[in-house]
Structure 1
């Protein structure tokens, strides 16, 4: 009996020693692979990654909808490689902000949105504030909270520079916008401020009541060539601040504002179109935001809408001389850098979506800088005669 008990205790001790040995081996392996220093380094890296991710979301991180859309579109053109897209439901956003740029077809789009909002039953808020694009921090927060509290789905539109909702820990909406050739925009604005549009002869007097007669009838060539404030920087630096944001440096013509504007477009804008290809812009908006823009092109082409749209054309516009155009183009080099960037991005989006457009792409007007002095302005002006419609925006760029 004693021998049996001793054998039993011996076996238990042996098993205990074997378990202890295995445990020691495991600990030794772990200590060999992950020392306390390595473990601390891994944990520190993980913590930094989490903090960086959180900081990115709080400071202008891209809305989730844009990330999902870019993953869906991918890096290559699906249509070119595989034919038509397979049926798939895209994650459409319910919060859209259109911080419309002045004299870039925004009144045309707002007229369309009013019809669409009634037809598709979404909330449309179109602000009538036209002359306050830069806001204090308190005003920014107040406006962003008001926007975020609108009934969804909503589309909010106003002339205002880009607002970074994420910076104030408010959910970032999706942005859309439309721009046009910078010189065309400037000319349209110059004559609109003086003479209004076809909706009424007195509209311009309401918008510019303090303008003196000598200013109202100032020849645009004199304004440009004699460097009047209205026709020189920083007044000419107009489009980029809408995308750069509320930072004071966004209003200073330079590389900093240009690059920040490009970054915001890539991270926060679902689509930035160009007015010269407005029908393609509307087609893409219908594809990307169907619950807002379904049937938009048929409405745009309808006789009733055309009658309304024709009333927004600026009156008494005429083309400056070639020399004045050259001076403007040189002064607006950052605006043109941004415009060409947007045009390339827009064409890339059309290609990825599979939209085959017949809209002509205007060349870069490098000839403006290189024509010989002997070129006669009068002869060129006959070739550059502009149309009265919205689609006149690039006529002056077409090289004869």
Structure 2
């Protein structure tokens, strides 16, 4: 006979033990959970503390809160709470940052500030101006008959393309200025909105002498004899743009002077073909000092010094494409794409109109006399050419240079065959120290 009571008791005991085991497991899990929450909370607290410390350090280093907080403050202070788009959620605040940025500018004009309230402009001043390229002040004190009109045409096209201010002076016959004229011109140049490029036929201006910020200079020169011949015939007969232009430019020139043979002018020592008229290139780099117009070593050395200290680039016209390429490398915000414009068919048609007409080459005897009178000009030209080639080498520019109008061998032969000077220039008595002191004091 089966004992049902015993089996039931055993079954009840077994179920009770199972329930106890299950409850014990449940309680053990619950005992672990607080530990897990505490570790997570601990990590959250440490992360919050780290962010707070980092934010505080960032605040102190930058002198103020992050930009987004300033924007929010500005927006709240100027426009009130009605302009905000805010979504409230339990323990969270979502602010539409893009809408803040979108309304900041309009709020400055549409909303009135409260009396006695702090505003963004009061705390931080005017917005920072746009970043300007360096250099943003460039002067091209172009030397006459050294390709300046060709470059100015290019600059007009580049100014429209790159949005810089090009100011080209219409004054062509006043290269030497009084002190007051220098100051007025410097102030006018400095007031041009930057970035700008100012161009004029004017001798070098020393801005620092009058405590004005010195711009960056660029220029181009050419073989001195070739420049002289181009100027001589251009004044008489103009260029291919029109046969009557020279009459407008030199209305007082008589026919006997206009058709004067270049050899007669040189050999018979006419003023136009002798010093100081042929001492032309160096004063553009020497400056406004009176001695800069006197042919001699002082003006030559001062011109060299200015080239090294104040000119970003001085190129030579015989290698114009290389000059434009270097300008594109050194001043990309002014000259990017200049070679493409220079080589375009439309520009070629325009550039061909600037060539001087009726140009003739003097006899060998006349060239000998002219070369001796321009010996300082050639020394300066050779110096500039060497510096230009050195700059090309530093940048890694490999190009085929065009030969100069008069080769070195030819000029050396002229120097050997040139007789004693016709008119020996008197040595300047004032030394370099006196000249420098004159420049320092206005």
1:284 corresponds to 2:288: no
Please tell me whether the aligned partners of residues 369 and 418 of structure 2 are also in contact (alpha carbons under 8 angstroms). Answer: no
Q: Equivalences for 1:96-175 in 2 at 5 Å? A: 96-175=138-217
Please tell me whether the aligned partners of residues 92 and 288 of structure 1 are also in contact (alpha carbons under 8 angstroms). Answer: no
Q: How far does the alpha carbon of each residue in 1:30-84 deviate from its partner, in whole angstroms, 9 at most, with x for none?
A: xxxxxxxxxxxxxxxxxxxxxxxxxxxxxxxxxxxxxxxxxxxxxxxxxxxxxxx
Aligned match for 2:377, one of 316, 332, 335: 335
Aligned match for 2:412, one of 366, 376, 389: 366
Which moved further from structure 2: 99-108 or 351-360? 351-360
The aligned counterpart of 1:353 is 395
TM-score relative to the length of structure 2:
0.63
1:264 corresponds to 2:306: yes
CA offset at residue 206 of structure 1?
1.2
Please tell me whether the aligned partners of residues 224 and 231 of structure 1 are also in contact (alpha carbons under 8 angstroms). Answer: yes
Q: Secondary structure at the match of 1:366?
A: helix
The aligned counterpart of 1:17 is none
CA offset at residue 316 of structure 1?
0.5
Aligned match for 1:207, one of 243, 249, 258: 249
How far apart, in 2, do the equivalents of 1:307 and 1:167 lie? 43
How far apart, in 2, do the equivalents of 1:99 and 1:172 lie? 14
TM-score relative to the length of structure 1:
0.70
Please tell me whether the aligned partners of residues 368 and 417 of structure 2 are also in contact (alpha carbons under 8 angstroms). Answer: no
Q: Which runs of 5+ in 1 are unaligned?
A: 1-90, 374-400
How far apart, in 1, do the equivalents of 2:317 and 2:195 lie? 26
How far apart, in 1, do the equivalents of 2:360 and 2:282 lie? 25
CA offset at residue 361 of structure 1?
4.5
Q: Secondary structure at the match of 2:253?
A: coil
Aligned match for 1:232, one of 262, 267, 274: 274
The aligned counterpart of 2:231 is 189
Higher relative contact order (CA closer than 8 Å, sequence separation 6+): 1
The aligned counterpart of 1:45 is none
Q: Secondary structure at the match of 1:189?
A: helix
CA offset at residue 359 of structure 1?
1.4
The aligned counterpart of 1:4 is none
Q: Secondary structure at the match of 2:234?
A: helix
Please tell me whether the aligned partners of residues 130 and 158 of structure 1 are also in contact (alpha carbons under 8 angstroms). Answer: yes
CA change 1:361–1:223 in 2 (3 A) is: same
CA offset at residue 192 of structure 1?
0.2
Please tell me whether the aligned partners of residues 162 and 243 of structure 1 are also in contact (alpha carbons under 8 angstroms). Answer: yes
Q: How far does the alpha carbon of each residue in 1:224-274 deviate from its partner, in whole angstroms, 9 at most, with x for none?
A: 011111000000000000000000110000001000000011000000000
The aligned counterpart of 1:9 is none
1:179 corresponds to 2:179: no
Q: Secondary structure at the match of 2:205?
A: coil
How far apart, in 2, do the equivalents of 1:327 and 1:295 lie? 43
The aligned counterpart of 2:137 is 95
CA offset at residue 367 of structure 1?
2.1
How far apart, in 1, do the equivalents of 2:264 and 2:303 lie? 32
How far apart, in 1, do the equivalents of 2:177 and 2:285 lie? 14
Q: Secondary structure at the match of 1:267?
A: helix
CA change 1:314–1:360 in 2 (3 A) is: closer
How far apart, in 2, do the equivalents of 1:272 and 1:361 lie? 18
How far apart, in 1, do the equivalents of 2:142 and 2:184 lie? 19
CA offset at residue 371 of structure 1?
6.0
CA offset at residue 370 of structure 1?
3.9
CA change 1:372–1:238 in 2 (3 A) is: closer
How far apart, in 2, do the equivalents of 1:369 and 1:256 lie? 22
How far apart, in 2, do the equivalents of 1:339 and 1:206 lie? 32
Q: How far does the alpha carbon of each residue in 1:201-228 deviate from its partner, in whole angstroms, 9 at most, with x for none?
A: 1111111111111000000000001111
How far apart, in 1, do the equivalents of 2:329 and 2:149 lie? 22
